[in-house]
Chain A
Amino acid sequence: NAGVTQTPKFQVLKTGQSMTLQCAQDMNHNSMYWYRQDPGMGLRLIYYSASEGTTDKGEVPNGYNVSRLNKREFSLRLESAAPSQTSVYFCASSEALSLLSYEQYFGPGTRLTVT
């Protein structure tokens, strides 16, 4: 049971280049999320997907697009990378333990540098 996996682990891009961050979970969770983590700012939600076929914007969606390919996979695309997108990106999935209790599992992260 691998949990949440992310590829790649590290990436360096030049300004204007594009790339897709891949995420997959093997826990049969309906909900999946993409966050970015910057020093002193905690994690900020970029996009989430409550179920296969649906996606919604989070707090910081500008410059990103997502695709929920199937129940397992949720990808994040940067169409034209900018230095402000230098960050560590985390994918997560969650299951509802009850109506108010959710358990969120995170991947190991992708460290992206845009020069």
Chain B
Amino acid sequence: TQLLEQSPQFLSIQEGENLTVYCNSSSVFSSLQWYRQEPGEGPVLLVTVVTGGEVKKLKRLTFQFGDARKDSSLHITAAQPGDTGLYLCAGVDNYGQNFVFGPGTRLSVLP
């Protein structure tokens, strides 16, 4: 069974601070995705990383895929209250027929 671990499980920070959350696995995935989920809603895809060592930037969010394609990180610069939510990573395998989700990091950004 493929498993993804995420750390930290919970994170509460002040507006303006920087943070990094991590996603780790013992398995290799063909690609890895990050989602954000707000209460009462379904997850929304933020980014897909495909190549080992790849770095993608989405405004204040920076995503990195590990060289061995087993781990990933999400760095947020100058966090804002609108960044509050549950951040999920998902490993994609079997040509999109299997998505394995981590348990998530619940982020709270206080004004």
A-to-B contact residues, CB < 8 Å: 4, 31, 33, 35, 40-45, 48, 50, 56, 58-59, 90, 92, 94, 96-109
Contacts known (A100-B50, A104-B45); A33 close to B40, Cβ less than 8 A: no
Contacts known (A42-B102, A44-B101, A90-B42); A102 close to B31, Cβ less than 8 A: yes
Contact at B98–A45, with CB atoms within 8 Å?
yes
Contacts of A35 in B (CB 8 A): 101
Contact at B99–A45, with CB atoms within 8 Å?
yes
Contacts of A58 in B (CB 8 A): 98
CA distance A43 to B45 in the complex (A): 14
CA distance A44 to B44 in the complex (A): 16
Main secondary structure of the interface of A (DSSP, over half): strand
Contacts of A40 in B (CB 8 A): 9, 103
How near does chain B come to A22, taking the closest CB pair, in angstroms? 15
Contacts of B97 in A (CB 8 A): 31, 48, 50, 56
CA distance A4 to B41 in the complex (A): 12
How near does chain A come to B50, taking the closest CB pair, in angstroms? 5
Interface residues of B in 81-102 (CB under 8 A from A): 88, 90, 92, 95-102
Contact at A96–B42, with CB atoms within 8 Å?
no
Contacts of A101 in B (CB 8 A): 31, 48, 50
CA distance A109 to B39 in the complex (A): 11
CA distance A35 to B35 in the complex (A): 15
CA distance A45 to B100 in the complex (A): 8
Interface residues of B in 31-81 (CB under 8 A from A): 31, 33, 40-45, 48, 50
6 other A-B residue contacts (CB within 8 Å) besides A43-B43, A103-B48: A40-B9, A42-B88, A48-B98, A90-B43, A96-B96, A101-B50
Contact at B42–A92, with CB atoms within 8 Å?
yes
10 A-B pairs with CB atoms under 8 Å apart are: A33-B99, A42-B88, A45-B99, A48-B98, A58-B98, A90-B42, A100-B31, A100-B50, A102-B92, A103-B45
